[in-house]
Structure 1
Amino acid sequence: MGKGDLLLKVRDLEVAFSSRKGGKKAVVKAVNGVSFDVRKGETLGLVGESGCGKTTLGRALLRLTPVPVKGEIWYDGEAIDTIGNRDFRSLRSQMQMIFQDPFSSLNPRMTIGQMLNEVLSVHKVVPRKDAKKKIYELLDIVGLSNDYFNRYPHEFSGGQRQRIGIARALAVNPKVIICDEPVSALDVSIQSQIINLLKDLQTEFGLTYLFIAHDLSVVEYISDRVAVMYLGKIVEVADSDELYRNPKHPYTKALMSAIPLPELSRKKERILLKGDLPGPLDMPSGCSFHPRCPEVMERCRSVEPMLKPLCDDGRHQVSCLLYE
C-alpha cells in the first residue's frame, strides 16, 4: 500500500447511550451517522465544542466505548466492525491511541520500564531478551533518557508523561494513531514540543493520525484535512488550508472567527453564537445547528441537511441547506 492509499474508512458510525428523562428511557446519540476517510500518511483533524462527540468517535474506532457501535469501519480494506473480539486484538497493534490526560492514562504502580515491557510482551513485539534494548530505543525516539527506565509516572512532568504515552503507542509499530487532545492538558510551551515530536514521528515512521482537538491553531498546524463536528455529526470537511481560508458552514465560520490574530493591528469580526449547546435529550428538529445559527432559514427548522461535496473532486464537503 503506497502513501495516499485509503487506510481507514468509516461509514454511518453511530454510538448511542441509554438514559432516562422524566422516568422514561431515552437514547442519546453521541455519534450520529458519521462518515469519513483517512488516507495513509495524512493527518485528519477533528474539531468541535466540548460534548460534540469527538472523543467518543475516536474511542469507538478502537472498541473502547461501553456500548456496541453501529455502522461500518474498514481498515486497510478489511471490515473490522463485524469481526470478533479475539480477532480484533490482533488489529490493536495496528491502531493505537494517545490519551488526553498524560497522568491518569499511565499505571502509577508500574515503572516506565515495566509499563513498556508489558506492551511488548502482550503483543510479542520482540523476544524477551531484547525487550530492554527495545525500551531504550523507544525512550530515545521520544526524547527521554534511559535513566527513566526505573522511575514511576509521578516523577515526571506532564510533557514527559505524554512522551511516555507516545512511546507506549509506538511500541507495537502501529500504522494509525488516534490522538485524543494530546496537548490540551499541557503548558503552551510544552504543547509545541509534543506537536513537533508527533510531526517528526509521522515522517520517520509513515504514521497516519486522527487528531482530535479543540485548539484550532494546533489543528491547523498539524492537519492535512480537517473535519468539523457538531452534536455528533460532521458538518464540514476540507483540506486544512481551504477550510481555514474559506469556511462554508455557519458553525465553522463562528469557530474560525474565534482564532486570535498574531498581529495586534489586525482586527477580525467575531461571530457570537446565540444560546448554549442543546442537551443530548433535547435535540432540535431539522438542522441541529439552527437554534444558534446566524444564517438560519425557515426550512432549517424542519429539514435535516446531508453532508455533500461543494465541488467535483469532493474534497470540500458541507452539511448545510444554504448550499443545496
Structure 2
Amino acid sequence: MNEESMILEVENLAVEFPVKKGGAVGGKGLVRAVNGVSFSVTEGETLGLVGESGCGKTTLGRALLRLLPVSVSGRIVFDGREITALKNREFRDVRRDMQMIFQDPFSSLNPRLTMGQMLYEVLQVHRVVPRDRIRKRVYELLDIVGLSREYYGRYPHEFSGGQRQRAGIARALALNPRLLICDEPVSALDVSIQSQIINLLKDLQREFSLTYLFIAHDLSVVEYISDRVAVMYLGNIVEIASSQELYGSPSHPYTRALMSAIPSPDLSSSRERIMLKGDIPGPLDMPSGCSFHPRCPEAVDRCRHEAPELMALKDEPGHEVSCLMRSNQKN
C-alpha cells in the first residue's frame, strides 16, 4: 500500500476496562477488550471488520473516536497526525473528519428533537456553514440520504427502522467527514431494508470519496461492501486480506470456521461445516499462548505457550495471518 494514501494507521492498540471481580473479597481487575491490534486503512477503501459477538469489534471502533472512558495504549494516526493523546479541545476538530454510524438508530437519535433540529444543532455547533444557510444544508442532507423534506419536522419515533438509519447517516455526513466508522449499520434492519442501506452507503462513498471501517457479523454483507477484511477473535486480529482472497482462500482456522457457516444458495454444494469445540473463554480467564488454541482443531502443544504474531504469507502480498501453524508460509 502507498503510505501517502493512508488515512488511518493503528499500531499496537490496546483497550482495557476496569472491573470488579466476583465474590465477597473480590478485588479489581482489568479486561483487555482489544489486545495490541495493528492495521491501516487506505483513503477511499472499505475495510470490513468481522468476528463473533464480544470479540472487540465495536470497542475498537469506539476507541478510535474516543467514545469510551477506558485505558487506551498504542498509536492512532489519522491523516498523518497522531491523535491518541489529543486533549478534548484538540480532538474536536479531528472528530469532524471521523464520524460514526451506530448499530441502533433509535437509541442514537435524540427523541426530544425533530430530525431538522438534530441536524441544525450539529451544523450550528461546529459552524461548518453560515447560520443563514443551515436550514438549506439540512434539506440537502435529507435529500442525499433519500428522505423528503417533510421529515424535517418529524421525531425519531415517527420514522421506520430504515428511515431512522438514513437519518443517522445524514447526521454522520453533516460535517463532511472523510472516514466513517459503520458499527453494524444494518443488523437491526429487515433484510429488504438492509440492501437499500448498503447500496446507499456504496453510492455515498463514490459521490463523496468516503473511507469506511465497516464493522459487522454478517459475512455476506461484509463480502459485498468491503475491499479488504480483517477477522477478530478475543481482541486480536487473526487474519487480514483482500475480500476476494479472504473469502476464496481463508488461511486461519478461525476464519475457515466462520466461512463454513455462510449459507450457500447452491443446494448441491458439498462445503463442510466446521464446528468449533468449547466456548469462548471468559474475559478474566484468557488462555495463554494463542488465544484460539482451546477451540482450534489444528492446535498443537506449541500453540498453548507461544502467542503468534500477525505476519504476511509468502507469495500473497497483503494477506496476513496470526497462526503458528502457518509459520512455514511466512516471508
TM-score w.r.t. structure 2 length? 0.96
- Corresponding position: 1:262 with 2:265: yes
Task: Specify every segment of 5 or more residues in structure 1 that has no aligned partner in the other structure, as ranges.
Answer: none
Contact 1:4–1:42, Cα closer than 8 Å, also in 2? no
In structure 2, relative to structure 1, the CA distance for the partners of 1:273 and 1:191 (3 Å cut) is same
Match of 1:288 among 269, 287, 291: 291
Q: Which amino acid aligns with 1:64?
A: L
CA apart distance, 1:136? 0.6
In structure 2, relative to structure 1, the CA distance for the partners of 1:85 and 1:313 (3 Å cut) is farther
CA apart distance, 1:275? 1.0
Provide the residue aligned with 1:107 in structure 2: 110
In structure 2, relative to structure 1, the CA distance for the partners of 1:289 and 1:3 (3 Å cut) is closer
Contact 1:15–1:69, Cα closer than 8 Å, also in 2? yes
- Corresponding position: 1:36 with 2:39: yes
Provide the residue aligned with 1:239 in structure 2: 242
- Which secondary structure does the structure 1 equivalent of 2:66 belong to? coil
- Which secondary structure does the structure 2 equivalent of 1:149 belong to? helix
Provide the residue aligned with 1:20 in structure 2: 20
Q: Which amino acid aligns with 2:66?
A: R
In structure 2, relative to structure 1, the CA distance for the partners of 1:3 and 1:199 (3 Å cut) is farther
- Which secondary structure does the structure 2 equivalent of 1:90 belong to? helix
Match of 1:60 among 60, 63, 69: 63
In structure 2, relative to structure 1, the CA distance for the partners of 1:4 and 1:193 (3 Å cut) is farther
Provide the residue aligned with 1:7 in structure 2: 7
Provide the residue aligned with 1:151 in structure 2: 154
- Corresponding position: 1:165 with 2:175: no
Q: Which amino acid aligns with 2:305?
A: S
Contact 2:231–2:255, Cα closer than 8 Å, also in 1? yes
* Aligned pairs for 1:195-206 within 5 A: 195-206=198-209
CA apart distance, 1:24? 2.1
Q: Which amino acid aligns with 1:16?
A: E
Provide the residue aligned with 2:195 in structure 1: 192
- Corresponding position: 1:69 with 2:72: yes
- Which secondary structure does the structure 2 equivalent of 1:13 belong to? strand
Q: CA RMSD in A?
A: 1.3
TM-score w.r.t. structure 1 length? 0.98
Match of 2:254 among 244, 251, 256: 251
- Which secondary structure does the structure 1 equivalent of 2:281 belong to? coil
1:18-62 deviations in whole A, cap 9, x for unaligned?
A: 112240221110001000000000000000000000000000000
Provide the residue aligned with 1:134 in structure 2: 137
In structure 2, relative to structure 1, the CA distance for the partners of 1:130 and 1:222 (3 Å cut) is same
1:87-138 deviations in whole A, cap 9, x for unaligned?
A: 1001111000000001000000000000000110111111111111101100
Provide the residue aligned with 2:223 in structure 1: 220
Cα distance in 2 for partners of 1:106, 1:256 equals 34
In structure 2, relative to structure 1, the CA distance for the partners of 1:163 and 1:221 (3 Å cut) is same
Cα distance in 2 for partners of 1:207, 1:4 equals 16
CA apart distance, 1:323? 1.2
CA apart distance, 1:312? 5.6
1:136-173 deviations in whole A, cap 9, x for unaligned?
A: 10000000000110000000100000000000000000
CA apart distance, 1:263? 1.6
- Which secondary structure does the structure 2 equivalent of 1:27 belong to? strand
Contact 1:158–1:186, Cα closer than 8 Å, also in 2? yes
Q: Which amino acid aligns with 1:90?
A: D
Contact 1:3–1:40, Cα closer than 8 Å, also in 2? no
- Which secondary structure does the structure 2 equivalent of 1:193 belong to? helix
Cα distance in 2 for partners of 1:88, 1:11 equals 19
Cα distance in 2 for partners of 1:33, 1:312 equals 26
Contact 1:4–1:41, Cα closer than 8 Å, also in 2? no
- Which secondary structure does the structure 2 equivalent of 1:315 belong to? strand
CA apart distance, 1:4? 7.7
Q: Which amino acid aligns with 1:83?
A: L
Q: Which amino acid aligns with 2:57?
A: K
- Corresponding position: 1:297 with 2:290: no
Cα distance in 2 for partners of 1:261, 1:283 equals 34
- Which secondary structure does the structure 2 equivalent of 1:210 belong to? strand
Cα distance in 1 for partners of 2:314, 2:122 equals 45
123-132 vs 310-319, which deviates more? 310-319
- Corresponding position: 1:209 with 2:212: yes
Task: Specify every segment of 5 or more residues in structure 2 that has no aligned partner in the other structure, as ranges.
Answer: none
